[in-house]
A = this chain, B = another copy of it.
């Protein structure tokens, strides 16, 4: 691993756990094992470092979700949705990248608010499109109550964020409790009666 990517990793971690303002370049440098000015050999400013890390995290998360949906596209969509939610919840505990993205998309550094939003918007729109087109495949659409794939997709995203919100400010266990309460209700609301 190069020095540069070591800086990025540490920065991601500290941004995720302490927020942009509280994660100082001094702390980042110390955790990497270099001095503060050395960071400027690789990044023009703190904001530059942040945007670099943010874009990278977004790209990686996009890839992960795309792969998950593609690999499971022939299984019943409830299973795919449930396993995706569980996976994101696990990641929120184990993977700083997910914590970072959730925190920074909710509350970006105020000076970078607009730039961050311009990156996040396409992400959400693509996620919605992706889920919708999955649900529109004949295999799945015929099992949908109203046949309205887009609303089912949007509702899933909403439920997912409600569960992840709980995962953020308490523990995975409590979030799991929520997931187990809400998911059967979601399925019953979306699937055709048997």
Which A positions have Cβ atoms within 8 angstroms of B?
A: 17-19, 21-22, 103, 105-107, 109-110, 117, 120-121, 145, 150-152, 154-155, 157-163, 165-166, 168-170, 177-179, 181-182, 184-190, 193
Can you offer 21 A-B residue contacts whose CB atoms are under 8 A? A19-B19, A19-B21, A105-B169, A106-B165, A117-B169, A117-B170, A145-B188, A154-B181, A154-B182, A155-B178, A155-B186, A157-B162, A157-B178, A158-B166, A158-B179, A159-B159, A159-B162, A161-B161, A185-B189, A185-B190, A189-B189
Q: Which residues of B contact A152 (CB under 8 A)?
A: 181, 185
A151:B21 contact, CB within 8 angstroms: no
B117:A107 contact, CB within 8 angstroms: no
With A107-B168, A154-B181 given, name 17 new contacts (CB 8 A).
A21-B22, A105-B169, A117-B169, A117-B170, A154-B177, A155-B178, A155-B186, A157-B178, A158-B162, A158-B163, A158-B178, A158-B181, A161-B165, A162-B165, A186-B186, A186-B189, A188-B188
- Contact of A154 (CB < 8 Å), options: B110, B178, B193: B178
Residue among A117, A166, A181 with most chain B CB within 10 A: A181
Nearest chain B residue, comparing its CB with the CB of A120: B169
A110:B18 contact, CB within 8 angstroms: yes
Q: Which residues of B contact A21 (CB under 8 A)?
A: 19, 21-22
- Contact of A182 (CB < 8 Å), options: B105, B107, B120, B155: B155
Q: Which residues of B contact A19 (CB under 8 A)?
A: 19, 21, 107, 110
Q: Which residues of B contact A181 (CB under 8 A)?
A: 150-152, 154-155, 158
Nearest Cβ on chain B to A171's Cβ, whole angstroms: 11
